Homo-oligomer: A and B are copies of this chain.
Amino acid sequence: MAKNRHDTPLLDQLEGGPWPSFVTGIKRLAKDKDMMVDLLGQLERSYETRKGYWKGGTASVIGYGGGVIPRFSEIADEFPASAEFHTIRIMPPAGMHYDTATLRSFCDIWEQHGSGLIALHGQTGDIMFQGCTTDDIQPAFDKFNAMGFDMGGAGPAVRTGMSCVGSARCEHSCYDEPEAHRVVLNSFLDDLHRPALPYKFKFKFSGCGNDCMNAIQRSDMAVIGTWRDDIQVNQDEVRRFVASKGRKYVIDNVITRCPTRSMSLEDDDSLSIDNKSCVRCMHCINVMTKALSPGNDRGVTILVGGKRTLKIGDLLGSVLIPFMKLDTEEDRNKLVELGQNIIDFWAENGLEHERLGEMIERIGLSVFLEGIEVPIDPAMINHPRTNPMIRMDDWDEEATKWKERAAV
């Protein structure tokens, strides 16, 4: 039985309505947790004044430098029980699958050592155990750790990764996303747990171009599934689809939507695809999921440099590796190696608080490619330069490099 609740007329207005209410949840916790009573008090204050009252600080666990987001109240004098309200970030299994036993243990631990408030999940993919005193951080973490869970990333470090449901439940999956996610992240645990990079670095894994993980914009290194051979077409299913929807519908919703006009509906209602022009956008496969599917020679495209706004404006990742296989342990190690080279070069050359994409923007893609020894490829660009503003007196040597590569 906790102390009496503060009046929260503003927050109370967030209890009505059909959507589940976080306020109601917090109130439930406040029944027996003073911390949540005062948390509600401070939050109500923020709603009144439209100001935040948390400040940062330091808090962590033995052996790690990051993973805990420390929060100290600026108005602890009024709300002492929530003076400390830290968040512990824990990495979930790839794809965020759980058995209920695990979730129940989380609840028990957090009821004992924390506020009882858990966010599933943070935007970077962590389980966020929110609301913990400094003293409780270590014991809480030790118990999560004992369950086989580890700390997530924070600060200038490799961050927790995310991968789509993919192979586990999606017919579009072009590689083993959960496994790639696990192997890659577990190869960078030192950089993840001990922040020492210029800035944050995020990996995200999507099984196909639909990019259900927003990898292209929300990660520094995006691994997106694709295929090299032809789209698999089941013409009977195509005809069935055309029969059920009508030609006009198919033309207006599939044929004309292909970004490269790679499809043509034959007069016999079969579909012909120019696979050389197809850019693997997924649209036709999405629409005719029974009739079409990605080819058999599957792998991934790797993009780098995605991030949000500060300080030069939002950046979408851009193509670094047009295609690589990702079937075997060996393939995955190649991916790790690539990530390592990128992070090493960036750690060397990135300015403080400069994300990978910003560094590439500053030094230029060609220079970056040379730095990490990745060969240039036309797939990296929308089109070659439209201006002559460059000195190229060693054109012939550069051209020879290409010819030699083409030769092998």
Tell me the A residues contacting B by CB distance below 8 Å.
247-248, 251-252, 255-257, 261, 264-267, 309, 313-314, 386-389
Q: Quick check: A313 and B387 within 8 Å, CB to CB?
A: yes
23 cross-chain CB contacts under 8 A? A247-B267, A248-B264, A248-B265, A248-B266, A248-B267, A251-B251, A251-B255, A251-B264, A251-B265, A252-B261, A252-B264, A255-B256, A256-B256, A256-B261, A257-B261, A309-B387, A309-B388, A309-B389, A313-B386, A313-B387, A313-B389, A314-B386, A314-B387
Compute how far the CA of A388 lies from the CA of B314 in the bound complex, rounded to whole angstroms.
9
Chain B residue with minimal CB distance to A247? B267
What is the total number of copies of this protein in its complex?
2
Q: Could you tell me the distance in whole angstroms from the C-beta of A270 to the nearest C-beta in chain B?
A: 12
Residues of B within 8 A of A261 (CB): 252, 256-257
The chain B residue with its CB closest to the CB of A386 is B314
Least CB distance, A285 to chain B, in whole angstroms: 19
The complex places the Cα of A247 from the Cα of B389 at a distance, in Å, of 47
Q: What's the minimum C-beta distance from A115 to chain B, rounded to whole angstroms?
A: 33
CB distance from A192 to the nearest CB of B (A): 30
* A247 surroundings in chain B (CB, below 8 A): 267
Inter-chain contacts of A387 with B (CB < 8 A): 309, 313-314
A257 — nearest CB in chain B belongs to which residue? B261
With a cutoff of 8 Å between Cβ atoms, the chain B residues found around residue A252 in the complex are: 261, 264
Cα-based distance from A264 to B248 in the complex (angstroms): 8
In the complex, which residues of chain B have a beta carbon less than 8 angstroms from the beta carbon of A309?
A: 387-389
Complex Cα gap A257–B261 (Å): 8
> What is the CB-to-nearest-CB distance from A392 to chain B, in angstroms, rounded to a whole number?
15
State how many angstroms separate the Cβ of A384 from the closest Cβ of chain B. 14
- What 10 new A-B contacts, CB under 8 Å, besides A252-B261, A313-B386? A248-B264, A248-B265, A248-B266, A251-B251, A251-B264, A252-B264, A256-B256, A257-B261, A309-B388, A309-B389
In angstroms, Cα B388 to Cα A25, docked, is 34
Q: Which chain B residue lies CB-closest to A246? A: B267
Contacts of A386 in B (CB 8 A): 313-314
A313 vs B385: C-alpha distance when bound (angstroms): 10
Query: Taking the nearest CB of chain B, how far is it from the CB of A271, in angstroms?
Result: 12
Task: Name the B residues within 8 Å of A266 (CB-CB).
Answer: 248
Smallest beta-carbon distance A56→chain B, Å: 23
A245 to B: closest C-beta gap in Å: 13
**Nearest-CB residue, chain B, relative to A388:** B309
Chain B residues within an 8 Å CB radius of A314 = 386-387
Give every chain B residue within 8 A of A389 (Cβ-Cβ).
Answer: 309, 313
Least CB distance, A229 to chain B, in whole angstroms = 24
Q: Which residue of B lies closest to A264 (CB)?
A: B252
Chain B nearest Cβ from A357, distance in angstroms: 14
Bound-state Cα–Cα, A190 to B233, Å: 68
A264 to B257, CA, bound (A): 13
Nearest CB on B from A280, distance (A): 19
Q: Give Cα distance in the complex from A309 to B385, angstroms.
A: 13
Which residues of the other chain, B, contact A265 by a CB distance below 8 angstroms? 248, 251
Q: A255 contacts which chain B residues (CB < 8 A)?
A: 251, 256
Query: Which chain B positions have C-beta within 8 A of A256?
Result: 255-256, 261
> A389's closest neighbor in chain B, by CB?
B313
Q: How far is the CA of A313 from the CA of B255 in the complex (A)?
A: 37
**Residue ID in chain B nearest A248 by CB atoms:** B267
Q: How far is the CA of A219 from the CA of B387 in the complex (A)?
A: 18
* Cα distance, A247 to B387, chains bound together (Å): 41
A352 to chain B: closest CB distance in Å?
21
Q: How far is the CB of A313 from chain B (nearest CB, A)?
A: 4
Q: Nearest 7 pairs between A and B by C-beta?
A: A313-B387, A256-B256, A256-B261, A252-B264, A248-B267, A251-B251, A313-B389
